[in-house]
Amino acid sequence: MLYIFKSRLLKGVVTRQIEPGLRGEVEAAGFQLRALITEKFGRSLHIREVDTGSCGACESEIIAANNPIYDIQRFGINFVASPRHADALLVTGPVSKNMLCALKKTYDAMPEPKFVITAGDCALDGGAFKNSYYVEGAVSKVLPVVLHIPGCPPSPLTIIQTLLAFFESGRPH
């Protein structure tokens, strides 16, 4: 503990400019996103994430969007632990047969109004797994999806920009 205090006092705020230019792009999209979220959702948008058979890279990128570099929370987007607290469901993966029931139950547990977003090629149409005997393929066959975030996996910047474009277009109603 002492070490933390000492090093913080001596070094002040640590900033990491990992990729010059990236910060500008993230913030340009992010602060517009924040304005729209404040307008549409009162203050913040709460998202519950469900993995229906993803390889894990999509999750890794969604987590990365929450790291201090992108810090999606400052734009008003929070990832929550329970579907009961969520406005939106973010689904990854090609819907393995084993996850179908859990996916539907999670959606049913969310309060209205609610909407569904998918992330990653798998969730769009099954991606690399679309010809498998054990996947349902597109999430949109199971739930009403209003937005897809493309990529395999989508980068944190893509996640932020795609959300912005979506809200800019006036949706969800």
Q: Supply 89's token pair.
A: 């469901």
For residue 3, report the phi and psi dihedrals to the nearest 5 degrees: -60, -40
CB 138 within 8 A of CB 100: no
List C-alpha distances in Å: 17 to 8, 138, 151.
Answer: 18, 38, 25
**Looking only at residues 39 through 78 of this chain, which bind ligand SF4 when binding is defined by CB under 6 A?**
54-55, 57-58
Per partner kind, with CB cut-offs from 5 to 8 A, the member of another protein, ligand SF4, none near residue 63 is: another protein
Q: State the sign of the Cα–Cα–Cα–Cα dihedral 54, 110, 125, 99.
A: positive
Cβ closest to another protein, residue 6 vs residue 171: 6
Which chain residues interact with ligand SF4 by CB under 6 A?
Answer: 54-55, 57-58, 92-93, 120-122, 127-128, 152-153
Residue numbers at the binding site for another protein (CB under 8 A): 1-4, 7, 14, 16, 18-19, 22, 49-64, 67-69, 79, 81-82, 93-94, 96-102, 106, 127-129, 131-135, 152-153, 155
